[in-house]
């Protein structure tokens, strides 16, 4: 190919890449549902960022034993503090009894509930909940046996009345390198089927690289809904390129994306 032809080819390719991205983005609701009000992040800053970037904001706080919201009184305070603001409002639930422990009237005021699978009973199903990202509190001696338990844990979380599963297919550091061995197609299908059946959206996380390509393709094929999330620790901006690119890469359309039902 002559240099001029090559130039034309490159330009043509770039144009082709840019147009579908713009077109797709115009039709797909781009919402970051995983904005924690912590580390200096406030609802006012989230609203400001929403105005600047055009990415709609969903703000949340953690609820559960040892988390910022433990009681109904604290839950009410949080809900009152964001009442009437132009953002979606959610909770990240960390205990498995949240839906019976808190007032239904308060929970009904939420737009969405997000959960992940990163806190799991160890060393067996009856053990205390352990934060899997803190690795000095446990060991995984038999990864396959642990994975069977982890599947049950995933399905338990997916059976709760949640709206979004954050960081799907997360694996803790001791077994992270076994991702392709532990996450067989069959296991992925089981998780996706449970999410579809229980109307739980699967988060495409901006930072963690989760879930990986194989899972997203399978989930799209099986009719799952998706959401985007950054999972911030502070108030610094987070690059959402991975989410924007996913729209084009997986051909995501408006109907593939989770949007909260209007409140009653
Ligand atoms: Zn989170």
Residue 10 has pLDDT above 60, yes or no: no
Q: Is the confidence at residue 106, as pLDDT, over 50?
A: yes
Q: Note whether residue 9 is domain-resident.
A: no
The per-residue pLDDT for 263 is 72
For residue 99, the CA-to-ligand 1 centroid distance in Å is: 18
Question: In this predicted model, which residue has the larger pLDDT, 186 or 8?
Answer: 186
Q: How far is the CA of 234 from the centre of ligand 1 (A)?
A: 12
Q: How far is the CA of 253 from the centre of ligand 1 (A)?
A: 25
Q: For residue 53, how far is its CA from the centre of ligand 1 (angstroms)?
A: 21
What pLDDT score does 20 carry? Answer: 37
Rounded Cα distance between 175 and 98, Å, is 29
CATH code, domain with 67:
3.20.20.140
**Cα–Cα distance for residue pair 168/203, rounded to 1 Å:** 7
In-domain check, residue 5: no
Q: Ligand 1 mean position to 241 CA, how many Å? A: 19
Per the structure, the complete domain to which residue 152 belongs is given by: 29-256
Tell me, yes or no, whether 183 lies in a domain: yes
Mean of pLDDT values over 134-152 = 97
With vertex at residue 232, the alpha carbon angle to CA 212 and CA 17, rounded to the nearest 5 degrees, is: 50
> Is there a domain that residue 10 lies in?
no
Top-confidence residue, 26 or 81: 81
Of 19-33, 80-94, 158-172, 208-222, minimum mean pLDDT range: 19-33
- DSSP assignments along the chain, one per residue: --HHHHHHHHHHHHHHHHHHHHHHHHHS--EEEEEES-TT--HHHHHHHHHHH--EEEEEEEESTTSSB-SHHHHHHHHHHHTT-SSEEEEEE-STTHHHHS-HHHHTT-SEEEE-S-EEE-SSTTSPEEETTSGGG---S-HHHHHHHHHHHHHHHHTSS-SEE-STT---GGGGGGHHHHS-HHHHHHHHHHHHHTT-EEEEETTT--S-HHHHHHHHHTT--EEEE---SSSS----HHHHHHHHHTT--GGGB--PPPP-
How far does the centroid of ligand 1 lie from the alpha carbon of residue 114, in Å?
8
- Which residue, among 118, 114, 157, has the nearest Cα to 137 in the 3D structure? 118
Give 27's pLDDT tier (boundaries 50, 70, 90).
confident
Residues 63-72, mean pLDDT to the nearest whole number: 97
13 or 114: which carries more pLDDT confidence? Answer: 114
Could you tell me the distance, in angstroms and rounded to a whole number, from the CA of residue 233 to the centre of ligand 1? 9
Ligand 1 centroid to Cα of residue 45, in Å, is 17
The model's pTM: 0.90
Exposure of 263 in the CB half-sphere (CA atoms within 13 A): 13
In a domain, 2, yes or no: no
Share of the chain above pLDDT 70, in %: 90
246 Cα to the center of ligand 1, angstroms: 20
pLDDT of residue 24: 52
Residue at 108 is within a domain? yes
Distance from Cα 216 to the centre of ligand 1, integer Å: 20
Neighbouring C-beta atoms of residue 28, cutoff 10 Å:
21
Give 1 Cα–ligand 1 centroid separation in angstroms.
50
Cα 62 to middle of ligand 1, angstroms: 7
Residue 15 has pLDDT above 50, yes or no: no
How many Å is the Cα radius of gyration of the chain?
20
Tell me, yes or no, whether 18 lies in a domain.
no
pLDDT-based confidence at residue 261 (cuts at 50, 70, 90): confident
Q: Name residue, tokens 């580390």.
A: 39
Dihedral pair phi/psi, residue 32, rounded to 5°: -95, 105
36 Cα–ligand 1 center, Å = 6
Q: Establish if 24 belongs to a structural domain.
A: no
Q: How many domains does the chain have?
A: 1
């Amino acid at each position: 190919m002559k240099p001029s032809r090559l130039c034309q080819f490159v330009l043509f390719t770039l144009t082709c890449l840019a147009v579908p991205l713009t077109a797709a983005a115009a039709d797909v609701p781009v919402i970051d549902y995983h904005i924690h009000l912590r580390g200096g992040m406030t609802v006012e800053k989230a609203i400001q960022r929403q105005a600047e970037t055009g990415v709609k904001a969903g703000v949340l706080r953690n609820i559960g034993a040892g988390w910022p919201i433990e009681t109904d009184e604290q839950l009410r305070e949080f809900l009152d503090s964001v009442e009437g603001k132009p953002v979606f409002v959610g909770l990240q639930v960390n205990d498995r009894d949240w839906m019976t422990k808190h007032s239904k009237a308060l929970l009904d005021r939420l737009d969405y509930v997000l959960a992940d699978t990163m806190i799991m009973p160890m060393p067996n199903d009856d053990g205390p909940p352990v934060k899997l990202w803190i690795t000095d509190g446990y060991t995984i001696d038999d990864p396959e046996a642990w994975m069977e338990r982890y599947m049950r844990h995933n399905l338990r979380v997916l059976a709760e009345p949640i709206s979004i599963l954050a960081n799907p297919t997360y694996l803790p550091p001791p077994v992270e390198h076994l991702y392709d061995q532990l996450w067989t197609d069959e296991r992925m299908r089981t998780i996706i089927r449970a999410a579809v059946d229980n109307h739980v959206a699967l988060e495409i996380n901006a930072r963690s690289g989760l879930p990986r390509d194989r899972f997203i393709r399978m989930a799209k094929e099986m009719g799952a809904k998706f959401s985007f999330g950054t999972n911030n620790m502070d108030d610094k901006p987070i690059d959402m390129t991975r989410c924007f690119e996913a729209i084009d890469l997986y051909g995501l359309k408006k109907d593939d994306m989770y949007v909260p039902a209007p409140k009653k």
